[in-house]
A and B are shown apart, each in its own frame.
Chain A
Amino acid sequence: MASLDIQGVTKAFGATNVLHGIDLAVADGEMVVIVGASGCGKSTLLRIVAGLETPSSGRVLIEGRDVTPLEPADRDIAMVFQTYALYPHMSVFDNMAYGLKIRGLPKAEIRARVEEAAALLSIGQLLDRKPRQLSGGQRQRVAMGRAIVRHPKLFLFDEPLSNLDAKLRVQMRAEIRRLQKRLSVTSLFVTHDQVEAMTLGDRLVVMHEGRAAQVGTPMEVWSRPADTYVASFIGSPAMNFLPATLTEGGAAARLGGGAVWRFADGARPGGEGRAVTLGIRPEHLLPDGADGLPLGVELAEPLGSETVVHGRLPDGTALTARLPGGVPGEGLRVAPDLAALHVFDGEGGKRLDPA
């Protein structure tokens, strides 16, 4: 158990820059989830921490010790791979014991540790099997077990749940979180799934094109996204974006269709006419027969207690709303919960807070 510091890590493959300088401090026992679309550099970052890739510049510190020049073997870490990467020719027991044998632990202790981990993961009855005789979920548990028995300073997870079916994924997700809390091992978890990220992480790192777009707790990232990318990536269905211009001295915004939305939390800087992007989550749009915007419904997805409505405003802007109750009738009008309105710069997409 230890802290992890990533300082100014960059990585270039030939002329392609994959990471543009990542800084991250993970506290002892914390679980940080790195989330982003494929190709954003999240796996590369994890592999740099593991020592499987060398950074082009920057340092990785585990427990305050610079491990950048060290081999993976010398970093005292454990990693769970997307493909599980079990040794196909070894039994489950030998898979889990491999790292311990290399460290030269006494046989009795190896057995004790493996059995303890197997009990924890309820795979005790599988110890004699070969990986090919196991189901996906069982392999996943063995891979976890192989990491746990080592008592490493750091757990690394490289999209470990993406090869499981939906139901098992939810189950394993909860299990990983429970185990991590119980063992309180510092962990880095890489995923492309924002639900996984929200539910697993003490903190999230949302990565976009080799940069950390935002670092924060799940609720911070959800309620105050740093830019339009983070805003669209976190939350499902995704946030709506509406182009608008500031008006009333920055205290309100005028939409393309002419409607004016007044900010609940104060004026934005930049003055009259500044281009902004308004963000409103589908669940923050409410049916409003009087003042709302008319929404031409194109598709309604009833989910039982609520309905997701995809439609267009009169000026053609696409808008998604999550409304309570069943499928709405003709002449739907929706209005935003102005307290939940996000304002972003019209050009860079950065969040604009009240001046």
Chain B
Amino acid sequence: MKLPIAAGLATGAVALTLYSLFEGGAWFWACVGTLVVTTAVGALASRFAAPRWAAPLLMPVAVTVYLSATFAKEHTWAWLVPTKASALRLGELLAEGFADIQRFAAPVPAEPGVSLLTASGVGLIAVLVDLFAVRLRRAALAGLPLLGLFTVPAAVLPEPVAWPAFVIAAIGYVGLLVADGRERLTSWGRAVLVRRTRTAGADKADSGRLALSGKRIGATAITLAIVLPALLPALSPDPLFGFGVGNGSGRGGNSIGIPDAIAKLSGQLSQQRNATVLTYTSGDDRPRYLRIYALDVFDGKKWTVSPLRGRPEDRVSEGPLPPPPGLGPGVATNRVESRVSVSEDIDPLRFLPLPYPAVQVDADGDWRADQASRMVFSTRDDAAGLDYRVIVNEPHPTRAQLDVMSTPTPDARFLALPDLDPKVVAMAERVTEGGATPYQKAVLLQEWFTGKGGFSYSLETKGSGGDALSRFILIGRTGYCEQFASAMAVMARVIGIPARVSIGYTGGTKIGKSWSVRTQDAHAWPELYFDGAGWLPFEPTPTGAVGQGTARVPDYSLPLTPDATPSAGPSSGPSSEDDDSAATGGPSRRNPRDFDRDLGAVPIVVDEGMPVPAKIALGAGAVLLLALVPALARALVRRRRYALVRRGGARPAVRAAWAELCDTLTDLGMSREPSESPRALARRLTEMYEFDADAAAAITSIATVEERMRYAASPPAAGPGPSDLPRVRRALAGAVRRRRRVASRFAPRSTLLRVRAAGTKLLDGFDRLEGIRWRPLSRSGAGTR
């Protein structure tokens, strides 16, 4: 492949990874056109041996002509030559593009402005790649502009770039390197050979083999880059906060997703290292739930976030946010200011934990608020180490007010439900039949979860799967905040109350003057919508010692008769513990978050999670196990062969004995000549290692039956004796040093060689694949040879 073409293809391959930034395909065709133009200019410049500086100068001109003709056709002269008017038009379009990109979060609709902007950018990269790879002959350096292009989707989107896209981009780059290597090599033979090869077609033979090994290295590197992170748990990007490459779950980039936010929670909750995530002070010195995500879409299995919009004017630095949705004038509100400082050590987090409903947030950086959900996020900045001020306008509706509030949904998605188990629907209706108003029904629902329903709290429950929800509601009734929040939100939607699930942290515990929120305070809770009060949090998860330690039940959600829910009230405290555990039955084991009671003390309970040394030991053990796989495989093979020999059917026994003998020799590092017959091998081994009579007889017996099997008219009547093989093995092992013996046991060469042979076969497969593609091209030249 010619180098300029390889450069163009490499740029194209990397440009493909931009797909998730845009809606629609117009940008793609604009980029393809640009690349065709630049590649053509580059190829022509090389063909006619133009000076080095020519191509980098000609390319932008050609790209400008192309873009003018495409985007501002009506202003060009003869539909081709750019004019002043067309230049102005392009400028306008570029400005529009910039504005669009500023206005929309990805994916951006591919309007002409955006397409033009993208095509120009890709064109610029193409010029740089061509400059480095073709003009300066530094193909490796061309990786830098390509990498720059690749980082755009990786940096802008919170989701990982899908791995197939990464593979294509990597193959593009490797292809460029291969083409460069080939060009370099053939240039040595130019004076004598290359002229002739134009007609004789003999040039491929020289570089083919080298290119082959290059391709093999490239293919192996790409495979490793994808497979290795997937295999090593430590390198796999965190699906909640991950922004890396290599996560196989690329979802197409329609929403700034937190795919398994909820499932992730149990991991957070059960963490042994109960690190402080953030601390905050609040004006009224009361704890508040800090929300990170509001999940509003339920697909039957999990909750996800619908696409977020963060326009530039939604930056929190632009001033106070509009009043929270649904809050009516009659409801008393409480304006409280909090200062939050997030720990520097947390994983990358691009959402701010905030109390609801925030009306003003002062944080450094480009933080934007999604109007509908009040989630505050950034595509650039990280919450780690951030200090910010937030003002909430907390509604305090009275029960009387709540009783008269209706529940029209602000958006259909807050009531949308997938097909549910009819029993769940029936259950929701049965539980809430005593309530006259939506508010009363909501209270009954929460009461059912925290008391009457007989639910119990346990981190053991697995919170995913298709019917996990109905299992939780109808049968198991054991779970943690995730199940409780999810179930209550679903059942609220069933009875017509708009609901969503919030993910974040509980208010934490007070240490000194401020409140401290730790990893194990991670929490999920439902928010229900009442017209006039807005979104109100509820707390179906058991609290206190047998539940989520620092969770608190809002006053308005408590039933009117306090004795109905002995365990739910935050004030009921320790005295209610006995009743509660008696009522819930089930696994009444100690709650891992018990320590919240003795503030600041070192966690005592360690029945979940494990200490760091144990983790290291576990990792080392896993590595060790992995390293022992060949040894294990070898041991299994040996056992099977011994069994075959013992069973004694002539043919399989003879074959097995011989194969085992050969593998043993390989393992012990003893050579075997290809021209050595069984008899000759037995003789040589006997002489070389001075076998005693027994061992000599044993190996002779193995060799003789093998020989008969191979060469005689009739196969031997029986295999070798069952004790022959172990005897020979012992004799052979006794002849080598101890170190070699141990090595043969733990890293058997016969197995490793087989693995290597399989690898070679795989690479051969790669080569054959390539052969299929390129044969027609080389055949045309080879035909005249």
| A complexed with B | no
Residues of chain A at the chain B interface (Cβ within 8 Å): none
